[in-house]
Amino acid sequence: MTSTIQDHAIIGDGRSCALVARSGSIDFLCWPRFDSDACLAALLGDERHGSWVISPAGYVSQTVRRYRDDTAILETEHFTDTGRVRVTDLMPWREGASAIIRIVEGLEGEVQMAMSLRLRFGYGQMAPWSERHERGLIFEAGPDRVVLDCPVELAMDGDGAGARFVMARGSKIAFVLSHSPSTAAMPPPLRIDSLVDATEKAWTGWIGRYEAKSRWDGAIRRSLITLRTLIDREGGGIVAAATLGLPEIPGGSANWDYRYCWLRDSTFTLTALLDAGFHEEATRWRDWILRALGGQPAEMQIVYRIDGGRLPPERELDGLPGYQGAEPVRVGNAASGQTQLDVFGELMDSFAVLAKAGIERTPRVVEVETAIVQHLEKVWDKPSADIWESRGDLQCYTYSQAMAWVGVTRYLEAHADNDRADRALIARLKALSEVIHRTVCERGYNSVLGHFVQGYGGDTLDASLLLLPLVGFLPVDDPRIARTIAAIERELMEGGLVRRKPPKPHGPNEGAFLACTCWLADCYKMQRRDNDAATLLERVIGVSNDVGLLSEEYDVGSRSLIGNIPQTLTHLGVINTALFLSGPVIQRAGG
């Protein structure tokens, strides 16, 4: 049976990552990049679609796992009737081919162990060619070669490989799976102990740059480490999640591919990195954005591949049955073709955040800023897709229009007093800023209901409205904002967490959107409701799994994480809100 979403931990090396279930199964792995085809995809089907299991062969009475302090090195202990073993999983932080190391140690008694490897390239569809070699097995499929270094006797198991072995107290062996191009030379064996030590030092050295400053430092540190597992160490891009196809509604069809870089997340990402002290990573993320935009910022897509390239067309994978039957499983993301007005404002806000943190506003940044506001002059009042990427529903969304105001306003704040600025442009933007603000206040506000609404002329609430005071569109004590927050508390909360939209009257619904709950906590902080804010943050942290990971949403009824995991936006919410509640930060209006 497929493990649940919340059963999973993540390991990674800054180029790719793998999900490890409590059972000892690695059942999701894309190699050699975050957005490569999966070669282990049992999470979206079953073991026939690719998995690598190392676990006791018999009954397991208890499993306990943890990350080594301040690392992404996972330690899982299995208790059986005959003894206890530990499996340590990591992806070594090194140059050269990407690899997974799995170290098995006998701790008590004797435990019969089983190892099973079934690789399936092309998202579970392609069985590789395989042959034995002196260290284990070689697998090849098209451009990919995977080598298994195995210290025990292997048996070919149909189209996979397996082994049985006994671990006694004090015994220790290591399995290694490594990836390389199929045309490259065979990779040499790894020096396991030195690589484990180097990887541990790389993680602890990195997180050591964060100075403790919050009562929630444990959650902040784990979220920062999780964030780093999703950062491309070569180019600086940050994927939205490690996975694709995990449903927002259990058994439903809202199953999207999140292994790409969303520009919308730029401000949330930069503020988390900057407030936590990671200026180098923040600067690299900015530089990645500039490369992705190329020479036509006005023609930007909202989401890009990890290397800054454009996404492939969205397609459905017919051969994968989906997580617990949730289909279709999609690769690519058609949202890349949407026009989303808010993204322009979010980019402008991110450049302002960088400048506020003392990072140079380069000529290239100024060039991009100018191109964006000139584009906003033409399109600010045009219908677009919303922040939630609803398909086929273009309108003037209140939050999106407000972010057009943010884009114009941030440009004025940066350049209005600059003698070299285009004075005619500055004059136009000053007038435009007032027009946009007035229009949003008139058309995005429902005077009958007494609060802002999702779209012009509508009556629907939307959790994105919580961002209006956070970006400085209106003060949090403005009665219109206060009533909007109160309405969201009444109508969008379930189990103490916030939904992004009102629930449907019939049929299954999404879970609570965890990042939105953090936004409400931020609003509470601005309203000086510090205890309420802390309670909300602790609810979010409280639904994380046993190793501190969070997905996009939480199903209150089943008390389970749903959606892709780990979710960057959720972990950014934890970091930003925890730091905001703990002291001065750069990320919030009035903060």
Same domain, 393 and 287: yes
In a domain, 301, yes or no: yes
Using H for helix, E for strand and C for coil, what is the string for 287-324? HHHHHHHCCCHHHCCCEECCCCCCCCCCEECCCCCCHH
Q: How far apart are CA 516 and CA 277, in angstroms?
A: 24
What total number of domains does the chain contain?
2
In a domain, 338, yes or no: yes
Which residues touch 283 (CB under 8 Å, ≥6 apart)?
Answer: 354, 359
Same domain, 116 and 254: no
Q: How confident is the model at residue 587, as a pLDDT? A: 59
Taken in order 224, 348, 434, 375, the sign of the CA dihedral is negative
Same domain, 231 and 174: no
Parts of the chain with a pLDDT under 50:
590-591
Domain end point (choices 130, 152, 183): 183
In a domain, 585, yes or no: no
Same domain, 132 and 42: yes
Q: How far apart are CA 5 and CA 555, in angstroms?
A: 12
Same domain, 136 and 212: no
In a domain, 588, yes or no: no
In a domain, 496, yes or no: yes
Task: Round the average pLDDT of the chain to a whole number and report it.
Answer: 96
Same domain, 211 and 137: no
Q: What does the CA dihedral 22, 45, 242, 562 come to, rounded to 10 degrees?
A: -80
Domain hosting 11: range is: 5-183
Same domain, 488 and 573: yes
In a domain, 191, yes or no: no
Q: How confident is the model at residue 590, as a pLDDT? A: 41
Same domain, 403 and 342: yes
Residue type, position 50, single letter = G
Same domain, 173 and 219: no
Rg (CA), the chain: 25
Which residues touch 372 (CB under 8 Å, ≥6 apart)?
Answer: 297, 298, 344, 347, 348, 407, 411
**Phi/psi zone of residue 570: left (φ > 0), alpha (ψ -120 to 50 degrees), beta?**
alpha
Per DSSP, the residues of 398-444 read HHHHHHHHHHHHHHHHHHTT-TTS-HHHHHHHHHHHHHHHHHHHHHS
Per DSSP, the residues of 43-70 read GGS-GGG-EEEEEESS--SEEEEEEPTT
Domain end point (choices 183, 218, 251): 183
Same domain, 456 and 326: yes
In a domain, 589, yes or no: no
Same domain, 216 and 169: no
Name the residue among 511, 481, 517 with its Cα closest to residue 497. Answer: 517
Name the residue among 397, 358, 385 with its Cα closest to residue 262. Answer: 385
Which domain CATH number covers 168?
A: 2.70.98.50
Longest dimension (CA), the chain: 80
179 touches 146 (CB < 8 A): yes
In a domain, 192, yes or no: no
Same domain, 265 and 163: no
Helix or strand run (H / E) with residue 217: helix 217-229
Q: How confident is the model at residue 504, as a pLDDT? A: 87
Which domain CATH number covers 407?
A: 1.50.10.10
